[in-house]
Amino acid sequence: MKLNYKTTLLIFTLTFISTLAFAQAKEIKIEFLGNCGLYMTDGQTNIYTDFPYKSGAHGYMEFEESELDSIKENSLFIFTHKHADHYSKKNLKRVMKEKGGQAFGVSNIAELEALGETIADFEIKAFKTDHKVFGISFKHYSYLITWHGKTIYLSGDTTIPATIGRVKNIDMAFIPYWLYANAKDQGITIDAKETGIYHLYPAEIEPAERLFKDKDNQFPLTENGNIIRLNLQKD
Ligand SMILES: [Zn+2]
C-alpha cells in the first residue's frame, strides 16, 4: 500500500495521541518543602501535604516566598491538622485564589477519601491520630496514600506509634523523630522500605544527620528541595 502524505500524517498523529493516552507514570517524585511539607507528583496530579504553612512558625523551618509562586495550578492540598507549622490559611487562600485547587483536612475527610474515585490509580485512607499540646487534644489525621501501587504514609505530628505500627508494607514513610524514638522505646516496628524523618527543628538537623549517617533506608529531611523518587517501572 502506498501511503500519501495526508494518510501518513494522520497515522502519525493517531499513534502520537495513543502514546500520550497510554503513557504510564514512570515515577512518583516527592520534594521536601520544610516541616511536614511535601510536594508529590506522578507528572499528572500535583499534591501538597502540610503546605503552605506559615514560614518559620514556632521556630521550625522557613521557606522562600518563591516556593509559594512555584505551586502548580489546580493542586490538591492535604493537611494533617491546622497548626501554623503545617497550615496557613492566609498562604493557602492566596495560592488557591491565583491557581485554584482543592484543600482537604480535618473538616472534610470523607471528601478526601473519595478522591480515589476521580484520580486514576490513587487511594487515600485517613487515620484519626492523637496530637496533644500541653494536654489539649487537637484534631489530627495521618494518611496512607496508595498511588500506582506504591504506599506512602504521612504521620504528621502524632506521637503515638501504634497506628503506623499496624500498617504493613509501606514503601515510603514520613515520620517525625519523636515517632521514630517512641516506636523504638515501645518495641513497635515500622514496616517501611524507606523512612524519611521530617519536621526537624533547625537545632536537631546536625544531630539527626549524625544519627542516620550509616543507615541505608532511614534518612533525615534536612533541606528544602530534598528529592525522593519512587520508581514505578517494573524491571
Ligand atoms: Zn508540627
pLDDT digits (tens, 9 = 90+) for 23-79: 678 999 999 999 999 999 999 999 999 999 999 999 999 999 999 999 999 999 999
For residue 161, give the 3-state DSSP assignment. coil
Provide the phi-psi class of 184: left if phi over 0, else alpha when psi is between -120 and 50, else beta: alpha
C-alpha cell read off for 115: 478522591
How far apart are the CA of 13 and the centre of ligand 1, in A? Answer: 50
Chain segment 157-211, per-residue pLDDT in tens:
999 999 999 999 999 999 999 999 999 999 999 999 999 999 999 999 999 999 9
pLDDT score recorded for residue 182 = 97
* pLDDT for position 98: 97
Average pLDDT over residues 85-112: 98
The pLDDT of residue 25: 84
- Of the options 3.40.50.11540, 3.60.15.10, 1.10.3720.10, 3.40.50.720, the CATH number for the domain spanning 27-231: 3.60.15.10
Q: Cα angle at 156 between 195 and 87, to 5 degrees?
A: 130
Tell me the residue length of the chain.
235
pLDDT score of 134: 82
What pLDDT, on the 0 to 100 scale, is given for residue 5? 65
Distance from residue 202's CA to the centre of ligand 1 (Å) = 13
When pLDDT is averaged across residues 3-28 and rounded to a whole number, the result is: 66
pLDDT tens per residue across span 113-160: 999 999 999 999 999 999 988 888 899 999 999 999 999 999 999 999
Measured in angstroms, how far is the CA atom of residue 20 from the centroid of ligand 1? 40
Distance from Cα 84 to the centre of ligand 1, integer Å: 8
User: How many angstroms separate the alpha carbon of residue 83 from the centre of ligand 1?
Assistant: 7
Asked if residue 119 lies in contact with residue 42, where contact means CB atoms within 8 angstroms, the answer is no
CA of 35 to the centre of ligand 1 (A): 7
Neighbours of ion ligand 1 (CB under 5 A): 85, 157
85 C-alpha to center of ligand 1: Å?
A: 5
Q: Please tell me the distance between residue 62's alpha carbon and the centre of ligand 1 in angstroms.
A: 13
CA 12 to ligand 1 center in whole angstroms: 52
pTM of structure: 0.89
